[in-house]
């Protein structure tokens, strides 16, 4: 498998949350890599994603659907298989935050809706996508989790809990699919500029504090949707043929550390100068 390219030539991919952000970036990237894409989203914006793919010479169809509805997921899997002759890749990317930031402001209704979309959605994508992928001899399922699913500090409680669940679903699903050739992995984005987080980026820019975005990770910046989509493309491709049951962080290094007081470049330079002087 040495030198296997991140090609999806001749493959069909179903992507949820495809109207914007990571889902749109992945849809465009998968199509550019040769995939026929069924771009799915609750928002009408998914048609714009498909138009962009077709304008670039790719093949895609749009479907408005609710990623947390079993009937809608079944319909999406069926449409992908019937329209493009099969299914090879599912990217269960759709997600919501619930709009509540304080733990004690959360309600059972908010938690139930977030878990329905963020956790039950990926479960349904795997449950109904895997059998169709098995007909092709195997393939890849990718779920969008989050660094918020690893520990506190990257999202509200209901969102974080749902993403922790996604990581576990990926692990249990890959074991349940042992021997089928279907790989199941998760990508865990850090702070990434999408529709979900755009308000934070916009507020920082308006206040002249853009330089503070992502200041807690070693790269000292936020991520872009394309950077997460690139990992999803890798996981979807045969280049990741031996990766299974993993949750891979794409977060600028944020999750590599416990909270510490970071040194600055000036601190490092001063330390080196002191060593030289001695």
Token pair in block for residue 35: 């995939």
> Strand, coil or helix: what is 216?
coil
CB 87 within 8 A of CB 131: no
- The Cα–Cα gap between 150 and 130 comes to 26
Residue 69, CB-side half-sphere exposure with 13 Å CA sphere: 10
Q: Which of 67, 159, 182, 228 is catalytic?
A: 159
What does the DSSP 8-state code read for residue 178?
T
Active site residue 242: no
Strand-pair partners of 63:
40
* DSSP states along 65-126: --TT-HHHHHHHHHHHHHHHS---EEEE------S--SGGG--HHHHHHHHIIIIIHHHHHH
Of all residues in the chain, what percent are helix, strand and coil, respectively (each to 5)?
50, 15, 35
Catalytic residue set: 159
């Amino acid at each position: 498998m040495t030198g296997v390219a991140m090609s999806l030539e001749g493959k069909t991919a179903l992507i949820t949350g495809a109207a914007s952000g990571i889902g749109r970036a992945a849809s465009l990237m998968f199509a550019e890599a040769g995939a026929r894409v069924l771009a799915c989203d609750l928002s009408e914006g998914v048609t714009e994603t498909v138009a962009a793919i077709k304008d670039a010479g790719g093949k895609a169809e749009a479907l408005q659907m609710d990623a947390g509805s079993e009937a809608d997921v079944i319909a999406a899997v069926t449409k992908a298989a019937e329209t493009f002759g099969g299914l090879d890749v599912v990217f269960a990317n759709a997600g919501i935050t619930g709009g509540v930031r304080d733990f004690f402001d959360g309600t059972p209704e908010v938690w139930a809706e977030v878990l329905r979309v963020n956790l039950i959605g990926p479960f349904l994508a795997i449950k109904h996508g895997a059998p169709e992928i098995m007909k092709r001899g195997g393939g890849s399922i990718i779920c969008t989790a989050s660094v918020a699913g690893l520990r506190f500090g990257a999202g509200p409680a209901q969102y974080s809990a749902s993403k922790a669940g996604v990581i576990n679903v990926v692990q249990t699903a890959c074991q349940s699919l042992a021997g089928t050739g279907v790989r199941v992995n998760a990508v865990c984005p850090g702070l990434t500029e999408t529709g979900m987080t755009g308000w934070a980026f916009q507020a920082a820019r308006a206040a002249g504090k853009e330089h503070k975005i992502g200041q807690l990770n070693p790269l000292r910046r936020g991520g872009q949707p394309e950077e997460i989509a690139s990992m999803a493309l890798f996981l979807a491709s045969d280049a990741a043929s031996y990766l299974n049951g993993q949750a891979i962080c794409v977060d600028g290094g944020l999750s590599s550390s416990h909270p510490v007081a970071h040194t600055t470049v000036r601190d490092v330079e001063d330390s080196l100068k002191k060593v030289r002087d001695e």
